[in-house]
Structure 1
Amino acid sequence: MGYVKTGILMAAMTALFMGVGYLLGGSGGALIALVVAAGMNLYAWYGSDTAVLRMHNAQPVTRGDRYGLTDMVAQLSANAQLPMPAVYIINEAQPNAFATGRNPENAAVAVTTGLIQTLSREELAGVVAHELAHIQNRDTLIMTITATFAGAITMLANFAMFFGGRDNRMGLIGTLAMMFLAPFAAMLVQMAISRTREYAADKAGAEICGNPMWLASALERIQQGAARIDNDVAERHPASAHMFIINPLHAHKRDNLFATHPATENRIAALRQMAGATAPRKPLRPRPTRQNRGGNGPWG
């Protein structure tokens, strides 16, 4: 089903891309847009995950890292019966995380340094489990491709500024409309995909880590941190906002247009309701390290 939805998304984005091309350059513009869209489809399938990681300057982490993060990911991946994904850290003060990859065999989980420093060990496990749930549900492919296409369509619409004026077949009003409507259309696709997906990943993530309250507490803390700490990279690339566990945008007025996540309060309420009907699993016990032994490490 995930691949069907991804195919529909790619077809819809291609049609929208061609529509923008036609309005900007007639049938010739549509043909050029089709060629470009075909190349983008190929790139989005095989390389968009790497592009998103590079965009956020994510750095790979190997086993035995000082945070104990890879050990945690390995244990939770085993709980979820998934291949262990690649693990990345983003040097970013805002607490947040996302997953990417076209399938479970080619997946990655990225967390910010702010997340590691802000959350307790159990809360971090809840966040990692949520991201693994996205991988398990094969959400990551459609999330990453959507980010790639939405960013490209936004950029294409902005190009309309260079074709504006009376000589343009659309006229000035049409050019201005295109600047707003094309990004808005891409944003609507993101919203249609994101909201139900987050609830499903919250539920599956709670099952993977064994305690819904770990994730509920993490969401509350991340929301508080994201509301007061800017994520400059995400602000420059708002089309990737839907990939994060909590919307990282808040610094610009336009950010309300990219509010792809359901209300955090509603997600927490659903997890609390789930906790009332679930017997929590035994807490996670990672291998002790110099950094987390004695309670002074980033796990709290």
Structure 2
Amino acid sequence: MSQSTGSAGADGETHRSGADDRLRADCARCFGLCCVAPAFAASADFAVDKPAGQPCRHLRTDFACDIHVDLRARGFPGCTVFDCHGAGQRVAQETFGGRDWRAAPETAPLMFDVFAVMRPLHELLWYLTEALALRPPAALREELAAALAETDRLAGGSPQELLAVDVETHRGEVNRLLSRTGDLARARGGAPGADRRGAVLVGRDLRRTDLRGANLRGAVLIGADLRGVDLTRADLTGADLRGAALDGADLTGALFLHQSQVDAARGDKLTRLPDRVTRPAHWSALSLTPRPAGRRPRRR
């Protein structure tokens, strides 16, 4: 789960993000909601099919996972990178007042539906907190702060109020603010980089590509080769980095980089990460890959 405590600014400087414990998953205070509420299809990320609302076969009665230390080896790498951004414990402890769905089975359907609303709201809270840490202009900062307060207000509603939230409309409004913030941050210290928003770059060799200040919001970078690439000021909001090779890459100044994205990628001891991001333990088992030879592309 995420251990984010700060954020990397557009100039590569690391500063406090202001994120609090509410935006960090605390499984001990949850009721295993991420192991029950969502549906999963057997894939490279999840070893078996699991219908929505049905507990994973590995969920114990105390809501802990009985194969937690072996999830990757047992075919559940998707579980190791999933992050509810603190939504689970908020639903469990605040929205439902600590009543778990096993002890009060009548709450189960409603609790699972509420979790599906709470998680994207908490994800937006995380992004808004990161955006504020990028020190945007005063007017934009006020808009971001107002959006943060409104998102938190929505997340604090009753179960019925939460189910009435139009998540997609609210997400769209917030994303416009986040996109503006990212564009300004990408242009800080020079012209913004290439616009690769939503680009499908599965398996692409990007080692010679200049991605400094690039817009990679929503880009699909599954299995992409980013070894030795400088991602300073690149906006990685929602970028899919599953299996991407980050050996020797520089992500210290990347924008909106979340721990789960790093956990889903591959890297080595030469990969440079922001202070707020923890180097994944499974990286240590990978062989080190040297930076590709040749000059780094120049910005034109």
Instruction: Tell whether the structures are fold-level matches, with TM greater than 0.5.
Output: no
Relative contact order higher in (CA < 8 Å, ≥ 6 apart) = 1
Normalised by the length of structure 1, the TM-score is 0.31
Select the structure that is richer in strand: 1
Q: What's the TM-score once normalised by structure 2's chain length?
A: 0.31
